[in-house]
Structure 1
Amino acid sequence: MATTVFGHRGIPEKYIENSISGFKYLAEHGEAVEFDVHLTKDLIPVIMHDEKIDRTTNGSGYIKDFNYEALKSFHLINDVNREQQVGKIESIPKLDDVLSVFNDTQIQLNIELKTDNFDYLGIEQIVLNTVQHFHFNRPVIFSSFNINTLDRLYAIDQSLNLAYLSEQPVNDFPHFMQDHHLNALHPSVESLQGGNVVQRIWTVNDDNVLDKLLDFGVAGIFTDNFVHAIKTRNCRG
Structure 2
Amino acid sequence: MRVFGHRGFSGEYPENTMLAFQKAVEAGCDGIELDVQLTRDLVPVIMHDEKVDRTTDGSGYVYDLTFDEIRRLDCSYPDKFGGKFGQLEVTSLREYLEWMAEEENLITNIELKNSVYYYGGMERMVMDMICEYGLEDRIILSSFNNASIVLCRQNDDTIAGGFLVERCVENAGVYARTCDVQYYHPNMDYLKEEHVRSCSQNGVGVNVWTVNEKEDMRRMKKWGVSSIITNYPDRGREVADEE
Rate the CA distance shift 1:169–1:33 in 2: closer, same or farther, 3 A.
same
Rate the CA distance shift 1:68–1:200 in 2: closer, same or farther, 3 A.
same
Aligned to 1:22: 20
Structure 1 residues 1-237: aligned runs within 5 Å: 3-28=1-26, 29-77=28-76, 79-81=78-80, 84-104=82-102, 105-136=104-135, 138-192=137-191, 193=195, 194-195=197-198, 196=200, 197-234=204-241, 236-237=242-243
C-alpha contact (below 8 Å) 2:33/2:111 kept by paired residues: yes
Tell me how far apart the structure 1 counterparts of residues 135 and 105 of structure 2 sit (CA, whole Å): 7
Alignment partner of 2:138: what SS?
Answer: coil
Rate the CA distance shift 1:41–1:137 in 2: closer, same or farther, 3 A.
closer
Matched AA of 2:101: N
- Aligned-residue offset at 1:67: 1.0
- Aligned-residue offset at 1:75: 1.0
C-alpha contact (below 8 Å) 1:106/1:138 kept by paired residues: no
TM superposition score normalised by structure 1: 0.92
Matched AA of 1:17: E
- Aligned-residue offset at 1:158: 2.1
Cα-to-partner distance string for 1:158-208 (whole Å, 9 max, x where unaligned): 222111000112143333213321101000002322422411100001222
Tell me how far apart the structure 2 counterparts of residues 131 and 137 of structure 1 sit (CA, whole Å): 6
Tell me how far apart the structure 2 counterparts of residues 13 and 187 of structure 1 sit (CA, whole Å): 20
* Higher normalized helix content (fraction of residues): 2
Alignment partner of 2:16: what SS?
Answer: coil
Give the unaligned 5+ runs of structure 2: none
Matched AA of 1:228: R
Give aligned pairs, total. 233
Percent of pairs with identical residues: 29
Matched AA of 1:26: A
TM superposition score normalised by structure 2: 0.90
| Of 173-182 and 66-75, the range deviating more from structure 2 | 173-182
Tell me how far apart the structure 1 counterparts of residues 139 and 207 of structure 2 sit (CA, whole Å): 14
| Of 132-141 and 62-71, the range deviating more from structure 2 | 132-141
Rate the CA distance shift 1:58–1:110 in 2: closer, same or farther, 3 A.
same
C-alpha contact (below 8 Å) 2:137/2:158 kept by paired residues: no
Tell me how far apart the structure 2 counterparts of residues 191 and 99 of structure 1 sit (CA, whole Å): 32
- Aligned-residue offset at 1:32: 0.8
Alignment partner of 1:130: what SS?
Answer: helix
Give the unaligned 5+ runs of structure 1: none
- Aligned-residue offset at 1:149: 0.7
